[in-house]
Each structure stands twice: as C-alpha cells, then as structure tokens.
Amino acid sequence: MADRSDPPDSVAGAAPPDSKLTATKQRWAREGKFLTGRVTRPEAERLPPGQHLVRDWPVLDLGLQPQIAPAQWRLDVTGLVENPVSWSWRDFLDQRQSRMVTDIHCVTTWSLYDNDWEGVAVRDLLDIVGPKPQASHVTLSSYDGYTTNVALEDFAAEDALLVHAWQGTPLTREHGGPVRVVIPHLYFWKSAKWVKQIDFMAADRRGFWEMRGYHNHADPWREERYSDDG
C-alpha cells in the first residue's frame, strides 16, 4: 500500500494516471457494454436495469489512492457562491452531521444496498455557502486528480452527503477517506472520493469519465451509462 501513497501536494492538480482498467472502461463506453435497453424507475424497482447485487464493497480508482493526513486535509468550496469556505478537518467535523442509508449503483453493474453513511448533508453545505443565482453546475475535484461534474439540482438532492463514515466506522482511504461525496441517485462515478474542491459554475464542464465516453447525467434507472456523442 505504501507505494500507492502520495502526499496531497504532489498529486494536487496532477493529471490522473492512465491505467489498464481506465483504458478498458473507456472501450466499454465506446462499445455500449452492459446496456439492456430497459428503463425502470426507483419507485417501481429498487435494482436498476442491468445491475446485480454484491455483498462486499468493491474498490475502483485510477490506480492511485492518495493519503491525506487530517492535519493537511482541506475542503475548498469555490466559484459562484456568496460565502466561499475552506474547511479544515476540525471545521468539517464541527458542521451539523447527518446519517442516511442509501444504495450504491456502479456503472460496471454492481450495486450494494443499505450503506449507512455519516457526514455533512449537501443541503446543509448549500445553506452555508449560498450558491449565486447564476450557479447551474458543480465540479467536484479530488486529491488524486479526478474530477466529475453534476448539475446543481442533482448535487442538491436531499440524500446527497459529504461522507466521512460508513456503517459506523471511519471511511477507509481506499473508499475515499477522509471525505468523499455520495450522490445516491446517480451512478457511483459521480461520487468523488478524496474530495478536495467543490466549484460552483455558470456552465457545465465535463469531468474525467464524462470526457471519456460516460454519460453526462448518469441516472441508473434510465441506464445513462454512456454518452451518445462519444
């Protein structure tokens, strides 16, 4: 594990590495792998089309799991907000904490039910920073160089969280600790691990996977796995 570590300063802003898995997933996006063509709704069917249940939580990343000591960790909320914040680990834990149980749906077809998350609700974060009227999209950036984009209305979902604990124990580094985003109603690649910055923007800007053939929106019940425009 030690060889996969990197201090945040050396990875901040760095281009994510290209791994074999990354290349394979890009090819799947081009070929439309795993598409069933069925559309269901969460109320009607808890398991989205083309998904299967797993019991153990898989780990997916770009081949780099940054190690961020709590003393070095910061979360910056920037862009089109009334009150930008830069939280230390202590600041983050001082915020109102929420607990929610939600399901994970990964584009590679595994789903994991009943994850008990604890952290700061995105709704509470929005109350604190106050997005400006022009803000329509958010880019999440991570300590490993990963980025992903979501529309503000998706980010503002009532069950979206900035998570630091899972099933009552601290979120492990491999799953994005100290803090990751969880947006349960979208495929899991939208849930940035090791989150570093949340940037509010007046326009959409595609993230790491969205630039590599993944769908811009990512609704599992509509099977929005891959984009049509390549």
Ligand X SMILES: Nc1nc2c(c(=O)[nH]1)N[C@H]1C(S)=C(S)[C@@H](COP(=O)(O)O)O[C@H]1N2
Which residues lie near Mo ion (CB under 5 A)?
Answer: 60, 106-107, 189
Give the 3-state secondary structure percentages of the chain, helix then strand then coil, rounded to 5.
20, 30, 50
As a whole number of angstroms, the distance between CA 16 and CA 143 comes to 10
As a whole number of angstroms, the distance between CA 166 and CA 171 comes to 6
Strand spans (E) along the chain = 52-53, 74-79, 85-88, 98-105, 110-121, 137-142, 147-151, 161-166, 169-170, 180-182, 195-201
| 170 belongs to the binding site for ligand X (CB under 6 A) | no
Reference 50, options 107, 103, 104; nearest CA is: 107
| 215 belongs to the binding site for ligand X (CB under 6 A) | no
In terms of CB distance, is 51 or 142 closer to ligand X? 142
Q: Which position among 189, 200, 221, 226 is part of the footprint of ligand X (CB under 6 A)?
A: 189
Q: Which position among 191, 213, 221, 227 is part of the footprint of ligand X (CB under 6 A)?
A: 191
| 61 belongs to the binding site for ligand X (CB under 6 A) | yes
| 162 belongs to the binding site for ligand X (CB under 6 A) | no
Q: Which stretch binds ligand X (CB under 6 A): 78-86, 184-192, 198-206, 221-229?
A: 184-192
Q: Which position among 17, 32, 58, 70 is part of the footprint of ligand X (CB under 6 A)?
A: 58
As a whole number of angstroms, the distance between CA 15 and CA 18 comes to 9
Shortest Cβ 164–Mo ion spacing (Å):
21
* Sites of contact with ligand X (CB under 6 A): 57-62, 106, 142, 144, 146, 175-176, 188-189, 191-194
